[in-house]
Amino acid sequence: MTRAVVFRDQITVEEITLPEVGPGLARVRVTAAGVCHTDLSMINGTLAPTFPLVLGHEAAGVVEEVGPGVTRAKPGDHVVLNWSPACRTCWYCTHGEPWICETSGIPSFPGGFAGDGTPLNLTLGLGSFAEQVVVREEALIGVPEGVPAEQAALLGCAALTGVGAVQNTAGVRAGDSVVVLGLGGVGLSVVLAARAAGADPVIAVDLTEAKRSLALAAGATDFLLSDDALIKAIRVRTGGRGADHAFECVGRSASITAAWKSTRRGGRVTVVGIGKRDDVVGLSALDIFHSARTLRSSVYGSADPDRDLPGLAAAVLAGELDLRPLISHRIGLDEVPTALERLGRGEGARSVVLF
């Protein structure tokens, strides 16, 4: 038995029974888990998982037990959990795009049982708002023992997504101007990565003044509130042209449109946020032609976690990447429902569950 956060028609913290550690599986003691907006999307209708659902997908831990045939890890290894392990055999994987693997990113998988025997599903195959999890060995990525657990957890989603969007998807270069709309954990990761790439200015945008200190701590050169004067204020700070790059980290048509308008002719708009199916973005055919802008999404930072995550972990260990500015709240497992409510109101950045 282990304690976990489960959603049916409401969120509860309860005792569950984990699956057996069979062939190809491993049991991991979770040391830290981040509360991501995707967890909220699982329960607010944006995504369509199967309920009842154990929430959580951004986590780090220590391997406790491995099943027959497991070669990627052994008991005692420190790992980050990968919610999108690639199959390595589908068309996308064999053509260098493992982040859109045909078998990855499925909202929920069967796994475990509630106290009354009801079968449970796991968010993105992990269900990491739990003291322990049983996962496929492909979901295990080893990291050095010295990486702090709270930062290791963020490597599993927020950091890899944000850094990857800057480095892999957009290809930000030194001297580029960058706008970041939405300053949750992913948006702040984009700010960190843009500054590390030498971007200047890095303009952080949010709806609330409370995000100013978080943005500046992450390396933003400017902070702006999202209002009717936003586009003009961005152009003032970018030579009258607009930014070279805009990153939309909210997942709403209004902010995607604002990102489009804030970017210069020939600039690039990268959508990182996950939006609703019926939230449609409207752009005129003439504007698309005349602006010569590029609009694309960044799924999991266009990253190969097996390749990219160990490098980020090494950067954290060396002091070259500090993810602490992303963390606004350190909480216990029982506080996850409150953290999700706070996330829904757009307050704070990352809440991290510390076990």
Kindly state the tokens that stand for 10.
């409401």
> How far apart, in whole angstroms, are the C-alpha atoms of residue 101 and residue 83?
12
> How far apart, in whole angstroms, are the C-alpha atoms of residue 57 and residue 336?
13
Q: Are 190 and 219 in contact (CB under 8 A)?
A: no
- Phi, psi torsion values for 33, nearest 5 degrees: -145, 130
Kindly state the tokens that stand for 166.
């800057």
Closest by CA to 270, choosing from 237, 229, 301, 233, is 301
CA distances from 21 to 2, 108, 231 (A): 14, 19, 54
- What is the reported pLDDT for 41? 94
Kindly state the tokens that stand for 69.
């045939």
CB neighbours (10 Å) of residue 288? 12
- What is the reported pLDDT for 346? 87
| Amino acid letter, residue 303 | A
- Phi, psi torsion values for 213, nearest 5 degrees: -65, -35
Kindly state the tokens that stand for 82.
């990968």
Residues of the chain with pLDDT under 70: none
- For residue range 143-156, list pLDDT tens digits in order: 999 999 999 999 99
Burial 301-317 (b: 16+ CB within 10 A, else e): bbbbbeebbbebbebbb
Q: What is the CA radius of gyration of the chain?
A: 20
> Domain 161-300 is classified in which CATH homologous superfamily?
NAD(P)-binding Rossmann-like Domain (3.40.50.720)
- For residue range 166-197, list pLDDT tens digits in order: 999 999 999 999 999 999 999 999 999 999 99
Q: Are 121 and 57 in contact (CB under 8 A)?
A: no
Closest by CA to 263, choosing from 197, 170, 331, is 170
- What is the reported pLDDT for 312? 97
- What is the reported pLDDT for 105? 81
- What is the reported pLDDT for 348? 87
Judging by DSSP bridges, how do beta strands 119-123 and 53-54 pair with one another? parallel
Closest by CA to 99, choosing from 183, 157, 153, is 157
Burial 146-166 (b: 16+ CB within 10 A, else e): ebebbbbbbbbbbbbbbbbbb
Asked if CATH classification 3.40.50.150 holds for the domain at 2-158+302-354, the reply, yes or no, is no
- What is the reported pLDDT for 104? 86
> How far apart, in whole angstroms, are the C-alpha atoms of residue 250 and residue 281?
13
Q: Whole-model pTM?
A: 0.94
- Phi, psi torsion values for 71, nearest 5 degrees: -120, -15
Domain limits, the chain: 2-158+302-354, 161-300
Kindly state the tokens that stand for 287.
């504007």
Express the helix, strand and coil content of the chain in percent, nearest 5 each: 30, 30, 40
